[in-house]
Structure 1
Amino acid sequence: MNTTDPDFRTPELDLLAREIIPTEHFEFSTETARDRFFHDTRMLDTKQRVHNVFRTNPRSMVDHMRDNLRLTGTEDLLDLGCGNAFVLEHLRPSIADGTITGLDNAPGVLDAARRRMLGTATPCTWIEGSADDLSMLDDDSFDRVMANYMIHYVPDLDACFREVRRVMRPGGIFQLTTDRPDSMLEMYQVHFTALTEMGAPADLHRATPKGRLSLDNGRPQLARHFDHVETATWQDQLRFTDPEPFMEFYRVGHNHCCASSEPDARLDEDFFIELRDRVRAQVVAAIGEKGHFAVTKYTGSFLCS
């Protein structure tokens, strides 16, 4: 980890993670992600706003990404799953004399990316497509490739990594950013506690979909395709003194820790009203006891070449 970053890990949090984070994780198809999560930008907008307002690490996640990419200003950059171009907007001044290509399979967020970057002098190209099929792109086209918090939605990971290797120039960097399975464990603790109190179905006790390729298990998958795989970690802690911004983060940004990600006949609106009430009560209690409710982020990037 960069020595300038704060370290939020404690023995108590490590013990809590072992107690509450399940080994099973949610899995969602690329169609679900496209048609439900990213048919508009609400989920992305909520996460990005909350992270900016409530973070306590003075070095942002985008700062971490920028440092990893080692940009000189003239690179050709490909962003897989570019979303609403929030990251690209902040990176663009560091590649002002380069080019940007953003690819996403969700038309709604891709339109938002076009609008966000409209008028910039840095040439931008926008492609609707899947990250495991880059056949529209030439060999050795990019100096830098990014895939930030999206790889778990890609249908064929091996095909994606082969394609990245093909389109990346010699000496290039592929940055894949994801979480540890126990990232945001305090949010999962209050969520799982509420589910248990309600006697909710056992299959809802699952971890984030990023478990498909996390900081814990991703290196062997990437090492099949890249000669060098380095891990650069980053931590942050969101702190809330009012429950409502957290509740929006939980409900809209994370679909009740994925419980409302897909239709489920067992879970009606009354279920989610009760779930939110029970989660909110725990958050209010934590704020009353500690002065804030904390959500600790354990995240980072694989840097592949």
Structure 2
Amino acid sequence: MVEVSEESIASIRETLSHFVSGVTGGRKIDSDALTLTRVEKLRAAVVSELESSSLGVHLDLINSKNQFSFACYVAADFTWSHPFEYQVIVAQLTIFFFHAEDILQDKPEVLRQLQLNIATGQPTGDPVLDWYARELTPKLWKHFDPLVANMIVIACYDFVNGIGIELLTKHAEVHREAPNFPDWLRFKTGLSPMYALLALARASDPQLPTGGFEKFVQTIPDVIIFTNIVNDVISFYKEHLAGEKGNYIDMRAHKDGVDVVAALRTLADEGICVRDRVLAALADEPEYRDNFDAYAKGITHFHTSSPRYRMVEMFGTPAQA
């Protein structure tokens, strides 16, 4: 663990408070912000579906690090304005991502060959990936407009590519003549292209003649950026303590010639501007605007409440259940 000065901690705390208020419409990092969302009902529904799938005999494999609960926190917070069955799908997609990251550590070749094996109808070499490709993916077309479903699947595969690239480049400095590399890689590894679609789409969209996508598609690039910024800003403290290098803020600081705490503040301000821009762009589409507003609050709450990001160390204790 890296020793961080009190001055830096105070600056980080101030930036986080400023950021959370700016992206949630004035909320504070108080006991409610630090308290996990209740997910018992959602978790039971997710596990019940998995038990009746081909993964029924592999549940211990995919819950070795409490992935079920963590995925449900993501789904419940990110899509809290959506129907319950919609949240079940989001949780299952999130379980796939967690498992894919674990596979990278132990069986990277399985991920490298994933799309080839799916395209040729061969087993993927992993039961969770088989379930994802043969059972979970086809469900998406029941819940989403075909174009949106296509994009969600592509985002999943691009994430697999992204984490492979990240592993190859984690010790490399950004070349001064390749300034767009950090943003390009962040686009692939943040899961944001998928969650941006899941957050704004409505459960009723597939019943519309055009799927509704044209009503919010122009905001998707900014929602992707916003998603990445929320994660980067709120995860900064725990990564800074751990002395992690090669993350987005570290690369931005190197590119801009500033220290990481200054880069954090700049990114926080950018995130607030992006949030305001999306809300303005959706002013004439109130249902999609409300979905984004709910998403901005929900993704922020997920990050402030998760013990993973160590917000309690700076802002106090969660509310008592």
The two structures have a TM-score, normalised by structure 2, of: 0.27
The two structures have a TM-score, normalised by structure 1, of: 0.28
More strand per residue = 1
